[in-house]
């Protein structure tokens, strides 16, 4: 983070929503890639695109960077052998950092905030509050700046040339209002979650989902 605890601009890696999703799915415990693939589909993480290939590439990057690691392989009956992965200590810290940055930093790409909200429970309640407070400050600055520009420019330009600035000011103001409401819910306790996410969403049982048409090994070689 930058001085004063402010995040600043997003890094390129912060925009890797597939990698973020893999890190978040491993927070509860080890999983293999097919299970993660099914969870992404079943929980409608629509911001994750290019499946399944993008997920396998993300897993490779995360292993290379030491953020996740293999716990070995397993085979269930006649099903293909699968590699199981788990989060490392570095991966846990990186997950916190990425979610915090995406929550705290207003960005023209609204998909990034959508993804961050999807994984807000990866942070502690206090951590989420701190990140959203940073976002509120940034949005307030954007709204105030856009309003000042409108007042200056409207004196010499027709409105038709300023409607995009009107939109930006209204968008920032509306998002600021919503973010402040979420902060109020955190402060009042209306929105809360346990530090141990296993209490919030237990790991699935031993029942196996149906097999995909392609095996994991075949998908990885695409």
Q: Looking at the chain, how many residues does it have?
A: 222
Residue-wise pLDDT tens digits, 148-192: 999 999 999 999 999 999 999 999 999 999 999 999 999 999 999
Q: Could you give the CA distance from residue 117 to residue 132 in angstroms, rounded to a whole number?
A: 10
pLDDT for 201 equals: 61
Confidence band, pLDDT 50/70/90 cuts, at residue 105: very high
Contact 197, 122 (CB under 8 A): yes
Pull the structure tokens for residue 88: 């490392």
Q: Could you give the CA distance from residue 62 to residue 91 in angstroms, rounded to a whole number?
A: 8
Contacts of residue 94, defined as CB under 8 A and 6 or more positions apart, other chains included, come to 23, 67
Contact 105, 138 (CB under 8 A): yes
Q: For residue 24, what are the CA distances in angstroms to 29, 30, 198?
A: 10, 11, 12
Q: Could you give the CA distance from residue 146 to residue 77 in angstroms, rounded to a whole number?
A: 62
Contact 24, 119 (CB under 8 A): yes
Closest-CA residue to 114 (of 28, 48, 41, 195): 48
Alpha-carbon Rg for the chain in angstroms: 21
pLDDT for 7 equals: 57
Closest-CA residue to 148 (of 123, 165, 135): 165
pLDDT for 203 equals: 54
Q: Mean per-residue pLDDT for 12-40?
A: 93
Q: Mean per-residue pLDDT for 130-158?
A: 96
pLDDT for 218 equals: 44
Degrees (nearest 5) of the Cα angle 177, 20, 14?
65
Contacts of residue 8, defined as CB under 8 A and 6 or more positions apart, other chains included, come to 1, 2, 105
Residue-wise pLDDT tens digits, 58-93: 999 999 999 999 998 876 666 778 899 999 999 999
């Amino acid at each position: 983070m930058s001085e004063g605890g402010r995040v600043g601009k997003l890094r390129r890696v912060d925009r890797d929503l597939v990698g973020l999703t893999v890190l978040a799915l491993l927070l509860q415990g080890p999983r293999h890639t097919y299970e993660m693939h099914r969870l992404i589909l079943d929980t409608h993480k629509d911001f994750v695109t290019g499946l399944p290939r993008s997920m396998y590439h993300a897993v490779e990057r995360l292993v290379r960077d030491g953020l996740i690691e293999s716990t070995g392989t397993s085979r269930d009956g006649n099903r293909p052998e699968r590699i199981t992965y788990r989060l490392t200590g570095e991966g846990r810290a990186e997950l916190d950092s990425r979610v915090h940055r995406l929550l705290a930093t207003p960005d023209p790409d609204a998909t990034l905030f959508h993804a961050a909200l999807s994984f807000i429970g990866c942070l502690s309640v206090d951590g989420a509050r701190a990140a959203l407070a940073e976002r509120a400050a940034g949005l307030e600055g954007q709204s105030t700046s856009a309003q000042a520009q409108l007042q200056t420019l409207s004196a010499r330009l027709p409105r038709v040339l300023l409607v995009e600035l009107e939109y930006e000011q209204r968008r920032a103001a509306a998002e600021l209002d919503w973010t402040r409401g979420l902060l109020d819910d955190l402060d009042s306790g209306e929105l809360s979650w346990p530090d141990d996410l296993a209490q919030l969403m237990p790991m699935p049982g031993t029942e196996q989902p149906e097999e995909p048409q392609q095996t994991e090994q075949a998908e990885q070689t695409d």
